[in-house]
């Protein structure tokens, strides 16, 4: 059964900033929104979440704020386009994971977040299960469902997804300076959760592909680099404004790094050069795919993952155009 449909951003008149045209949308997008709102409502009413803060707001306040907006026009749609091939249950579980990523990332009370929520994800960490809150019980059930899917399928895609979330929440703060783009992307790919994104795709495909396979290493590195750079181009204007207003302490953005490395005089020049870098990565992706075709060593399952990974890339470009945080209201279809 097909779990996604093809969409054409160019035919829709969107300013498509990529030479890769294939884009997909999960059929169960409404289920994604429903699961997102259900989980946000639990956080909004959670007593412990009233006392954990992120950028001046408690997690409960953040959840209430998101519920009061059109969450479907913002970050909730990320898995719908980046990981479109999931069946209903896997799609719902990915929506739950997406809420955790959004609410718990960069909390300035990490130890408390770890005690209440993250330790529940660790197989090597004991946590108090005597009287879990509704949020904790919801997380526990999602983890049980993910692991049960692994048991039924005979692979470890779900556990790898859980482990990648723990890794994401544990990534260090950024260094003060970067000596080159490779050094920046090494950090940025972790900060942007790209290992997690690859695990999301593996989970939705119910795949046994080895994400550390040498055969795929170059291709997957390029996918991660492209997503980081394209995301940074799309979010640059908003991030720069927040930094200039003192709303954030630092900018983790490829445009900012390019401007500093090349000593460019204007932001506009930095944006254009970063966009050129993004297109160069696409050329390298094409070259790598041609190399993989010529070598003819990938299995059918690995090729399926390659195709799905390309939709992480194009899904990211798509949401950078249509998400509200990037000014997507301009391109809403009436």
Domain ranges of the chain: 176-334
Q: Give the pLDDT of residue 285.
A: 98
Q: Which tokens is 221 given?
A: 């590195």
CATH code of domain 176-334: 1.10.600.10
Confirm if 57 and 109 have CB atoms less than 8 A apart.
no
Q: Give the pLDDT of residue 331.
A: 45
Alpha-carbon gap, residue 104 to 83, rounded angstroms: 21
Confirm if 121 and 113 have CB atoms less than 8 A apart.
no
Alpha-carbon gap, residue 122 to 163, rounded angstroms: 8
Q: Which residues contact 209 (CB under 8 A, 6 or more apart)?
A: 202, 216, 301, 302, 305
Q: Which residues pair with 58 in a beta bridge?
A: 53
| C-alpha dihedral (86, 90, 95, 97), degrees to nearest 10 | -120
End-to-end CA distance of the chain: 30
Q: Which residues contact 292 (CB under 8 A, 6 or more apart)?
A: 215, 219, 298, 306
- pLDDT means per 10 residues in the chain (334 residues)? 91 92 96 97 94 84 92 90 97 97 79 87 72 93 97 97 93 88 95 96 98 98 97 92 83 94 96 96 98 98 98 96 64 47
Q: Give the pLDDT of residue 115.
A: 85
Q: Which tokens is 141 given?
A: 């059930």
Burial of residue 290 (CB within 10 Å: 0-12, 13-18, 19+) is: exposed
Q: Give the pLDDT of residue 4.
A: 97
* Closest alpha carbon to 331 in 4, 7, 6, 2: 7
pTM for the model:
0.93
Confirm if 195 and 164 have CB atoms less than 8 A apart.
yes
């Amino acid at each position: 059964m097909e779990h996604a449909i093809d969409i054409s951003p160019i035919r829709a008149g969107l300013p498509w900033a990529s030479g890769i045209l294939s884009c997909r949308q999960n059929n169960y997008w409404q289920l994604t929104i429903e699961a997102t709102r259900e989980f946000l409502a639990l956080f909004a009413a959670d007593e412990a979440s009233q006392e954990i803060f992120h950028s001046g707001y408690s997690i409960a306040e953040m959840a209430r704020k998101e519920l009061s907006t059109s969450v479907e026009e913002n970050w909730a749609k990320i898995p719908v386009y980046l990981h479109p091939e999931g069946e209903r249950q896997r799609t719902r579980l990915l929506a739950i994971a997406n809420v955790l990523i959004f609410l718990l990332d960069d909390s300035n009370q990490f130890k408390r977040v770890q005690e209440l929520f993250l330790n529940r994800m660790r197989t090597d960490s004991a946590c108090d299960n005597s009287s879990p809150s509704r949020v904790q019980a919801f997380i526990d059930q999602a983890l049980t469902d993910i692991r049960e899917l692994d048991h039924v399928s005979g692979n470890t895609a779900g556990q790898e997804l859980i482990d990648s979330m723990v890794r994401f929440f544990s990534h260090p703060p950024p260094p003060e300076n970067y000596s080159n783009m490779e050094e920046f992307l090494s950090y940025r790919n972790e900060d942007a959760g790209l290992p997690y994104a690859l695990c999301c795709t593996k989970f939705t495909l119910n795949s046994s592909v080895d994400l550390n396979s040498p055969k795929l290493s170059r291709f997957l590195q390029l996918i991660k680099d492209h997503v980081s750079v394209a995301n940074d181009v799309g979010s640059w204007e908003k991030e720069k404004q927040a930094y200039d207003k003192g709303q954030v302490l630092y900018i983790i953005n490829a445009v900012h790094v390019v401007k500093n490395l090349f000593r460019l005089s204007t932001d506009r020049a930095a944006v254009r050069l970063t966009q050129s870098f993004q297109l160069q990565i696409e050329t390298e992706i094409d070259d790598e795919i041609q190399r993989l075709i010529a070598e003819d060593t990938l299995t059918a399952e690995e090729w399926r993952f390659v195709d799905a990974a390309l939709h992480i890339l194009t899904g990211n470009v798509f949401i950078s155009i249509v998400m509200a945080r990037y000014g997507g209201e301009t391109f809403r279809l009436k």
